[in-house]
Amino acid sequence: MNVAPKTLRHLAELQQAGLTPDQKREALEQVAAHYAIAITPEMVSLIDPRDPHDPIARQFVPDAAELEHRPEERADPIGDQAHSPVKGVVHRYPDRALLKLTHICAVYCRFCFRREMVGPAAEPLTGEQLDAALGYIASHPEIWEVILTGGDPLVLSARRIRQVVTRLAAMSHVKIVRVHTRVPVADPSRITPELVRALKARGKATYVVLHANHARELTDAARQACARLVDAGIPMLSQSVLLAGVNDDPATLGDLMRTLVECRIKPYYLHHGDLAPGTAHLRTSIEHGQELMRQLHGRVSGLCQPSYVLDIPGGFGKSPIGPSYLARDASGRTVVEDFSGRHHCYPPAATNPAG
């Protein structure tokens, strides 16, 4: 009798799969005691255990470096709590709000900015708390867009998602429902026709934003899951995190963005790594990120260009931090740099009209 592969959640399971070395067990037990572990069969199948630098393993397999906490790192690096008027809601920007339906994910990323808050031990929203969260959104007519996040909202049942989406659809001021998820790549079988139907709010526009960081995550099954969403009329965008040793070179990053576009997913955000505890080994410098964006500019299609952003610590929101292509020369004229690194005055010097 064949036993279906299961999600790996314990160090012993990771060791048995050859994903963690026995000599680091003591340190990794300390990591596992503090931060949740889950690696789905889909992600396990992509990992080459012989490669100590495997980019998929680097995202999901615990690392002893997670025990190294730096002074600048924060348990709530982007300031969710400072903008949470009721449990489950983050209202940082005037016209949109996050609705955190669950703290559970299909997989737990080692760089997660909510790593102190997510995991199977975290308390889910009670029915009363969900009512209060939806009541807050209903009572704030300036909220034009609601972003379902968590955790990962698509680990919930289609029935539960339909209930929430239906209640949002009844709010006349809410026009957009956006869903942030890793499920289409981490557990693509969950993207069923029933779930797709549950995501569509009557009279509203639904968008799904996929979190993917490496082109290998877009397996055939993941592509089919995304196609089910797009073919149902749900536009897809992407968000990726710039990660050292995962996607921080031009070829890998460009391959990811092209693969997303091939799947009819528009690259949206490239996040600079947040200051979450124990994640310094995965963060790059901003200067390196800016140079990567320069290398993408002009060398891959405009469809493949994400916005490189930093979520300012303390809850001050996202800011674009991509490179600038404008400068001023000594005479005060605007100088613009093209994709080959050449510089041009704008407007160009006047030419003599034809005689």
Could you tell me the two tokens for 288?
Answer: 């390196």
Answer whether residue 265 is part of any domain: yes
Are 46 and 174 members of one domain? no
State which residues form the domain around 49.
Answer: 11-67
Q: Which helix (H) or strand (E) holds 206?
A: strand 205-211
From the candidates 9, 25, 87, 96, give the one annotated as an active-site residue.
Answer: 96
Examine the residue annotation and report whether 311 is marked as an active-site residue of this protein.
yes
* Residue stretches of the chain with pLDDT short of 70: 1-3, 352-355
Are 177 and 275 members of one domain? yes
Examine the residue annotation and report whether 35 is marked as an active-site residue of this protein.
no
CB atoms within 10 A of CB 323: 14
> Structural domain tally of the chain?
2
Are 173 and 35 members of one domain? no
Could you tell me the two tokens for 112?
Answer: 């997660």
Query: Which pLDDT score, from 0 to 100, does residue 122 have?
Result: 82
Handedness of CA 40, 210, 184, 130 (dihedral sign): positive
Examine the residue annotation and report whether 58 is marked as an active-site residue of this protein.
no
DSSP 312-348: -TTT--EEE-PPP-EEE-TTS-EEEE-TTS-EEEESP
From the candidates 35, 100, 112, 182, give the one annotated as an active-site residue.
Answer: 112
Q: 9 vs 13, 18, 163, 206, CA distance in Å?
A: 7, 14, 30, 32
Q: What are phi and psi of 264, to 5 degrees?
A: 65, 35
Query: Which pLDDT score, from 0 to 100, does residue 354 have?
Result: 58
Q: What are phi and psi of 186, to 5 degrees?
A: -80, -35
Examine the residue annotation and report whether 228 is marked as an active-site residue of this protein.
no
Answer whether residue 349 is part of any domain: no
CA pair distance 173, 167, nearest whole angstrom:
12
Query: Which pLDDT score, from 0 to 100, does residue 287 have?
Result: 98
pTM: 0.94
Are 63 and 136 members of one domain? no
Examine the residue annotation and report whether 216 is marked as an active-site residue of this protein.
no
From the candidates 58, 74, 92, 178, give the one annotated as an active-site residue.
Answer: 92
Query: Which pLDDT score, from 0 to 100, does residue 228 have?
Result: 98
Examine the residue annotation and report whether 226 is marked as an active-site residue of this protein.
no
Are 47 and 103 members of one domain? no
CA pair distance 326, 164, nearest whole angstrom:
46
Whichever domain contains 179, its CATH number is 3.20.20.70
Query: Which pLDDT score, from 0 to 100, does residue 298 have?
Result: 83
From the candidates 74, 100, 110, 114, give the one annotated as an active-site residue.
Answer: 114
